[in-house]
Amino acid sequence: MASESIQSVYATALRNTHALEQEALQAMERQVERLTDYPEVKQALTQHIEETKRQQERLETALSGLGESVSSVKEAVMGLMGSMAAMAHMPAQDEILKNTFANSAIEAYEIAAYTSLLTIAEAAGDHASIPAFRQSLAEEEAMAARIRSMADAITTKYLSLTTSGDAAQAST
């Protein structure tokens, strides 16, 4: 088995992280379409959608610096997975709770991906991209904290809507 070069491993990590961002983007966009009873969640996701687009641009810049580009196949598959994950929760009465759990998990995954990417970028000698990846990591950590801070209020509102007989789904 031939060993891969650091540059090859780095390009793969960049593509994988970009595809992960595509999955998250698609999931958030599907959720935002349905959020009417939870404006605080809609606002947080809308803001993070814009951050995610900038994060993808940062990854594309690093890939371009290597003479590489994103993987169309990975992008398509991951984007479809994100859309399907959000759509899978739609029929559930507790859609908002399931999406909150999924969003928390996605943020944890992205935090781990950027932490690893920073190590790989350092090993690959791409010191120019490290500040951009640190910024992306900080944005993911902030979103993870925001989701955690909203979980109690989301659950309380869900309980209130459910026990009052109102629709407790993400939208009404």
Going residue by residue through the chain (172 aa), what tens digit of pLDDT does each one get? 456 799 999 999 999 999 999 999 999 999 998 898 999 999 999 999 999 999 999 999 999 999 998 865 554 555 455 445 555 544 557 999 999 999 999 999 999 999 999 999 999 999 999 999 999 999 999 999 999 999 999 999 999 999 987 655 444 3
> What pLDDT shows up at residue 171?
43
Q: From 102, 110, 108, select the one nearest 85 (Cα to Cα).
A: 102
> What pLDDT shows up at residue 20?
94
> What pLDDT shows up at residue 1?
45
> What pLDDT shows up at residue 4?
78
Q: From 98, 104, 121, select the one nearest 17 (Cα to Cα).
A: 121
What span, in angstroms and rounded, lies between the C-alpha atoms of 50 and 133?
16
Q: Where are the domains of the chain?
A: 6-163
pLDDT in tens, 53-91: 999 999 999 999 999 988 655 545 554 554 455 555 445
> What pLDDT shows up at residue 80?
52
3-state secondary structure of 3: coil
CA 171 to chain centre: 21
* Terminal CA-CA length for the chain: 56
Q: Looking at domain 6-163, does it have CATH number 3.50.50.60?
A: no
> What pLDDT shows up at residue 50?
98
What span, in angstroms and rounded, lies between the C-alpha atoms of 116 and 110?
10
Helical (H) or strand (E) element with 17 = helix 6-32
